[in-house]
Structure 1
Amino acid sequence: MSLSRIVMRLARNPGTEFSGGDDHRGYALTAPLTADGHLDEAEYAKAKKDCAVRRFAPDEDPADGRLARRGERWFFDYDEDDQIDDEPVHRLGQHRFAIGEYVTVTDEDGRPLTYKVMEVTPI
């Protein structure tokens, strides 16, 4: 089983304060990927404890959490005992993690923001 480090940075989000994007805001994710760049569900089941996420932004401390799944719903979880902090990721299981692809994450304020995959590196 191999894990990959995936870095996503805030893309242009018209109609928000991030209309031009922000390379200093984003997520670094550790997850298993299939050969075509999708989340590998079978490997995730074996490596849940190693699947991590770090949210970063220049105006806040980094938030460390984990990649989690309930049923078909994937999300970023920063506190196992508190579901309020969960950040849903729109159709994460269907996304292809390849440089240049886009992923939508619902932030802590409930806003869907688009991020661009900037790095995918096997660990």
Structure 2
Amino acid sequence: MNDVAATALQRIRLHLARSRDFPEGSARHGYEFVAPLDARGHIDLESWKAARAACTVTRFWGTDAPESGHLVHRAGGAQGATWVFDYEEGTSEDDEAGYRFADHAFAPGEYVSLREEDGALHTFVVFSVVPA
């Protein structure tokens, strides 16, 4: 791993935003992942390529057991590629895709959406971004 990727890695925590099922949102439902961010807070593809093994994700969902995986950049999607949380290497059935993750700045208070493996789209608020 190069020094640029190592210094750019950030630990990003997402909490479930307000919704019909969770009118106050939920800190018990969300994700924590590691990704290299550029100066604007966007995921840096080139740095990710150098540090992909370190770009992990943990999904925490209420009382369910946490799931661990990796942040992966896949071909396809609206802009030719999609960032996904991949929990089982070799299969895409369990992947959760970030909705336009390449366009979003990951900064506290910002909102992002993820499509779960069952197709449900949930909105999350960026709770924190700290050096990994």
Q: Judge same fold: TM > 0.5, yes or no.
A: yes
Q: CA deviation at 1:18?
A: 2.6
What per-residue deviation string (whole Å, max 9, x for no partner) do you get for residues 54-97 of structure 1? 00022200000000011211110000122100001100111100
Partner of 1:10: 16
Q: CA deviation at 1:25?
A: 0.6
Against the structure 1 CA distance between its residues 108 and 19, is the aligned structure 2 distance closer, same or farther, given a 3 Å change threshold? farther
Letter in 1 for 2:49: A
Structure 2: state its 5+ residue gaps. Answer: 76-80
Q: Partners in 2 of 1:75 and 1:11 — Cα distance?
A: 19
Partner of 2:41: 37
Where does structure 1 differ by over 4 angstroms across 4 or more consecutive aligned residues? none
Q: Partners in 2 of 1:64 and 1:119 — Cα distance?
A: 19
Partner of 2:78: none
Structure 1 position 46 matched with structure 2 position 55: no
Letter in 1 for 2:28: H
Secondary structure of the 1:30 match is: strand
Structure 1: state its 5+ residue gaps. Answer: none
Q: Partners in 1 of 2:15 and 2:30 — Cα distance?
A: 4
Letter in 2 for 1:64: S
Q: CA deviation at 1:109?
A: 2.3
Partner of 2:98: 89
Q: CA deviation at 1:53?
A: 0.5
What fraction of aligned residue pairs are identical, expressed as a percent?
A: 40
- Choose the corresponding residue for 1:74, options 83, 93, 108: 83
Q: Partners in 2 of 1:24 and 1:119 — Cα distance?
A: 14
Secondary structure of the 1:82 match is: coil
Structure 1 position 23 matched with structure 2 position 27: yes
Q: Partners in 1 of 2:117 and 2:24 — Cα distance?
A: 20
Q: Partners in 2 of 1:57 and 1:73 — Cα distance?
A: 23
Q: Partners in 2 of 1:117 and 1:106 — Cα distance?
A: 16
Normalising by structure 1, what TM-score?
0.93
Q: How many pairs align?
A: 121
Q: CA deviation at 1:13?
A: 1.9
